[in-house]
Amino acid sequence: MSFRQIYSFAWSLTGFLWFLFTITTMPSSTSAQESDNIDVPPLPTGPRLRTIGTNIPRIVSRNGAASLTLAEPLAIGIATHTNFHQEPAYQTVAAREYDVITPENDMKMGPLVPNQRGSYDFTAADEHVRFAEAHGMQVHGHTLVWHQQLPDWLQPSLSPAELRSVLQEHIRTVVSHYGDRVAVWDVVNEAIADSPVLFFGSPMRSTIWSRAIPDYVDLAFFTAREANPSAILLLNDYSVEEVNSKSNRMYNLVAGMVRRGVPIDGVGFQGHLRANGLNYCSMANNMQRFADLGLDIYITELDVRLSLGRNGDISPFQSQRQADIYRNVMRVCLEQPACKSVQTWGMTDLHSWIPSFAPGFGSALPFDENLAAKPAYYAMQSAMLEQRTPDDVCAGQDDSMNFLESLFGGIASFFF
Ligand code: G3I
């Protein structure tokens, strides 16, 4: 075993043992406070993420090949929740730190056209776009076609022809409403099956769209391109960050789209992570194969959930582990010129989806409930600032090591 492998294994083992020790000595965290009654948020020290990201050296190394430094932007963003525009302190931090925002829910089909076909209400979604434009930020539109948060009037009883018409009408209406005010679109979200039925099942998730319109993904991208010739069009999904069976299915779908001339510009890796992080070498290789198709990669929904203590708090070890994960994801993206942005799914733990989705877990984002920057924020900042010698994240990695690291990390992640 190489030193790196021994070090890596020791790190995982130590982390797991340290967790066992720290579970009874957790510090009390500050109590949650509605961000709208925080007058002046505790602003982070050091340069703003959006400033560093504007023109950043991209240190690229591949399997020991000569390094290449490219100075090009890396967008840093957040998902913005409904009514965020009513929270002055939240807005202060968001505008200071980020250059792209994604409406977390307000641009989805259900919220946009809730009551009857053709009757759109853009009020809430427009607030996100207005805020972005007021602060020189980009808008990442989310999402034109998904199987969740659909309006009640959209029923599977509609005929395939009607569903095809609904899908195209929705994309045309929303993309045309915003035009170039929305620069990037998650055209189709979560189209890939998590685990196909046995080995010969369809690679595609079974949804109201896929069951009625076998070519709905191609149709959605052609329709979006027709509605906006210049927007960046992405296919977005989760658990596809590393080379694995699901990302293989995504790769095969996307490679076929490229072969067919479907107007796709990139893929979104959502990045909803746990405390065992990722195999960063596998993530780098995964990014590279999509880049080799001529596509860009966006980290679209990054968060790192932690197992909360009895009082809803986390240990210093957990906080540091989370920061390391944020740092490593940033570094993998920085070393891949085709990786264009890192966006977290929310900014502050106060508005994260995690506690309602995964009870007992939380503290997933770079800012705490009081809008104070956490070690995760500073890890993102330092990853962007560090002038490192090129560090090939795959150096010394082999499958046995990956297995052990993910084994210990996987077990540990059930607890922290
Ligand atoms: O707006 C209604 C409100 O009127 C009602 O009183 C309340 C109680 O039922 O529900 C509110 O809607 C909720 C909505 O969030 C807005 O808060 C929905 O119930 C709830 O299901 C919805 O959850 C969102 C989830 O997508 C829906 O699947 C989460 O906030 C959002 O963070 C999450 O985001 C998704 C991405 O779009 C795609 N990738 C995965 C990610 C996490 O699931």
- Identify the residue with better confidence: 91 or 10: 91
**Residue 394 binned pLDDT confidence (cut-offs 50, 70, 90):** confident
**Any atom of ligand 1 within 6 Å of the Cβ of 148:** yes
Residues of the chain with pLDDT > 70, as a percent, come to 81
Q: What band does 179 get if pLDDT is binned at 50, 70 and 90? A: very high
Distance 182 CA to ligand 1 centre (A): 21
Q: Does position 406 have pLDDT exceeding 60, yes or no?
A: no
Number of H helices, E strands in the chain: 14, 13
Q: Which atom of ligand 1 is nearest to the CA of 111?
A: 1
Asked whether 53 and 73 are in contact (CB, 8 A), the reply is yes
Sign of the dihedral through C-alpha 328, 389, 294, 255: negative
* Confidence grade of residue 25 (pLDDT, cut at 50, 70, 90): very low
Closest by CA to 343, choosing from 76, 161, 106, 31, is 76
Q: What is the pLDDT of residue 331?
A: 92
**Ligand 1 pocket check: which of 105, 188, 300 to mutate, most ligand atoms within 8 Å of Cβ?**
105
In terms of DSSP H, where are the helices of 34-154?
A: 49-54, 88-97, 109-112, 123-134
Model pLDDT, residue 41:
75
Residue 350 confidence (pLDDT) above 70: yes
Residue 44 has pLDDT above 80, yes or no: yes
Residue 134 in tokens? 């007021």
Long-range contacts of 351-356 (CB under 8 A, 24+ apart): 351/35, 351/81, 351/84, 352/303, 353/104, 354/303, 354/305
Question: Which residue is catalytic, options 97, 190, 241, 405?
Answer: 190
What is the rounded average pLDDT of the residues 157-172? 97
Mean pLDDT over the full length of the chain: 87
CA distances from 235 to 90, 95, 188, 238 (A): 29, 27, 5, 11
- pLDDT tens digit sequence for 239-290: 999 999 999 999 999 999 999 999 999 999 999 999 999 999 999 999 999 9
Residue 402's pLDDT band (cuts 50, 70, 90): very low
Residue 34 has pLDDT above 60, yes or no: no
Strands, E, within 148-231: which ranges?
184-189
**The pLDDT of residue 56:** 82
User: Which amino acid, one-letter code, is at 25?
Assistant: T
Q: pLDDT at residue 95 above 70?
A: yes
Whether the per-residue pLDDT at 228 is higher than 60: the answer is: yes
Residue 94: predicted pLDDT:
97
* 301: annotated active-site residue: yes
Measuring CA to CA, which residue among 12, 100, 91, 89 is closest to residue 54?
Answer: 100
Which two three-digit tokens encode residue 294? 């001529």
Strand pairing class (100-103; 75-80): parallel
Range of lowest pLDDT (27-41, 73-87, 324-338, 394-408): 27-41
Confidence class for position 32, pLDDT limits 50, 70, 90: very low
Flag whether pLDDT at 54 surpasses 80.
Answer: yes
Single out the residue of 148, 128, 146 nearest to residue 138, CA to CA.
128
Task: Find the 354 Cα to ligand 1 centroid distance in Å.
Answer: 11
Q: Tell me what the mean pLDDT of segment 123-132 comes to.
A: 98
Q: Mean per-residue pLDDT for 294-305?
A: 98
Which residues are within 8 A (CB) of 363 and not within 5 positions of it... i.e. 6 or more apart?
305, 306, 308, 314, 318, 319, 322, 349, 374
Residue 267 gets which letter from DSSP?
E
φ, ψ at 302 (rounded to 5°): -60, 130
Annotated active-site residue 190? The verdict is: yes
Is the minimum distance from the CB of 189 to ligand 1 under 6 angstroms? yes
pLDDT of residue 71: 77
Query: Sign of the CA dihedral 93, 95, 96, 100?
Result: positive
- Range in 42-46, 141-145, 307-311 with the lowest mean pLDDT: 42-46
pTM: 0.88
Mean pLDDT score, 35-40: 58
Q: What's the mean pLDDT in 315-327? A: 97
**Omega into 143 within 30° of 0, i.e. cis?**
yes
**Closest by CA position to 285, among listed 226, 332, 228:** 332
Q: Active-site residue among 87, 104, 301, 335?
A: 301
Band of pLDDT at residue 389, cut at 50, 70 and 90:
low
**Does 348 sit in the ligand 1 pocket, CB within 6 Å?**
no
Answer whether residue 415 shows pLDDT above 80.
Answer: no
Distance 104 CA to ligand 1 centre (A): 8
Mutate to test the pocket of ligand 1, among 80, 149, 186 (most ligand atoms within 8 A of CB): 149
pLDDT at 397 (0 to 100) = 61
Predicted confidence at residue 17, as pLDDT, reads: 55
At residue 100, the 3 state secondary structure works out as strand
Among 353, 356, 357, 365, name the best residue to mutate to test ligand 1's pocket (greatest count of ligand atoms within 8 A of Cβ).
353
Q: Are 135 and 80 in contact (CB under 8 A)?
A: no
Is the pLDDT reported for residue 23 higher than 50?
A: no
For residue 158, the number of C-alpha atoms closer than 13 Å in the C-beta half-sphere is 19
Regarding predicted confidence, which is higher, 412 or 121?
Answer: 121
Q: Which of 51-65, 84-98, 108-122, 345-359 has the lowest mean pLDDT?
A: 51-65
Q: Quick one: pLDDT at residue 39?
A: 63
When pLDDT is cut at 50, 70 and 90, the band that residue 321 belongs to is very high
CA of 235 to the centre of ligand 1 (A): 20
| pLDDT of amino acid 201 | 80
Instruction: State whether the beta carbon of 270 lies less than 6 angstroms from ligand 1.
Output: yes
Ligand 1 center from residue 159 Cα (angstroms): 27
* The predicted structure's pLDDT at residue 390: 57
Environment class of 337 (CB within 10 Å of its CB; exposed 0-12, middle 13-18, buried 19+): middle
Check if 400 has its Cβ closer than 6 Å to any atom of ligand 1.
no
Secondary structure (3-state) at 370: coil
Q: Among candidates 76, 79, 81, which has minimal Cα distance to 99?
A: 76
User: What is the SS3 assignment for 219?
Assistant: helix
pLDDT above 50: residue 238 = yes
265 C-beta closer than 6 A to ligand 1: no
> Which atom in ligand 1 lies closest to the alpha carbon of residue 301?
39
pLDDT of residue 19: 47
pLDDT score of 311 more than 50: yes
Terminal-residue alpha carbon distance, the chain:
28
